[in-house]
Amino acid sequence: MKHPLPTGEGIRIRALARAVVPLAALLPLTACGVGENICTLRDSPSGVGVSVAPEFAPEAAEAELVACWDGRCHSGGMPLQKELREAAQPSEPPTAWPGFAMMDGLPEDGKKIRVRLVLKDERGTPLLDDEVMVVTELTYPNGRECSPGGPQAHVKVTKDGKLTAL
């Protein structure tokens, strides 16, 4: 016995069911992200960031950074990026060549470390040899709702050639 071909109301109900059922199956997947922060695989390295006032930066050709904690010192290579960056706040002056010395094992959030920075000119003559105590902070490249990235500390060389903690 053959089934009669659906007509009228039966066709509309089946067509609606074919469209709605797949969409309904996706509903639980879309509800998972509602109101939640999406954590990506983006990370941030451990290390010490350095910025230099533009008045002091033109002579610097080489930088050496050493950070000490728990009775041990660690040096980090820091390439100089000779560029001028605008300040984040209008009341702050711009900074030149922000650098970053990567350091594995930098202590977690809230630990004081001693940072020594030596800047030299093209002949290798020291322009600055100064140190400062600075506190490390965990970074959150994906927001505070996600796992933290590497701990970091930041220092700045002022226009008078003093190393300060940021």
Asked whether the CA dihedral 27, 32, 37, 38 is positive or negative, the reply is negative
What average pLDDT does this structure show over 98-124?
90
Q: Which range has the worst mean pLDDT, 11-15, 44-48, 151-155?
A: 11-15
Calculate the average pLDDT of the chain: 77
* CA gap 106, 67 in Å, rounded: 9
Q: Give backbone dihedrals phi and psi of 22, rounded to 5 degrees, phi first.
A: -65, -40
* Tokens, residue 87: 């300040």
pLDDT, residue 67, reads: 96
Q: Is the pLDDT of residue 20 over 50?
A: no
For residues 76-112, b (16+ Cβ closer than 10 Å) or e, as one string?
bebebeeeeeeeeeeeeeebbbbbbbebeebbeeeee
Q: Is the pLDDT of residue 115 over 90?
A: yes
pLDDT digits (tens, 9 = 90+) for 88-108: 556 665 555 668 899 988 998
The answer to pTM > 0.85 is no
What average pLDDT does this structure show over 48-76?
87
Grouping H, G, I as helix, E, B as strand and the rest as coil, residue 113 is strand
- Structure letter (DSSP) for residue 27: H
Q: Is the pLDDT of residue 26 over 50?
A: no
- HSE-up of residue 23 (Cα within 13 Å, Cβ side): 5
pLDDT, residue 100, reads: 87
Q: Is the pLDDT of residue 6 over 70?
A: no
Q: Which residue has the higher pLDDT, 112 or 35?
A: 112
Q: Report the number of secondary-structure helices (H) and strands (E) in the chain.
A: 1, 10
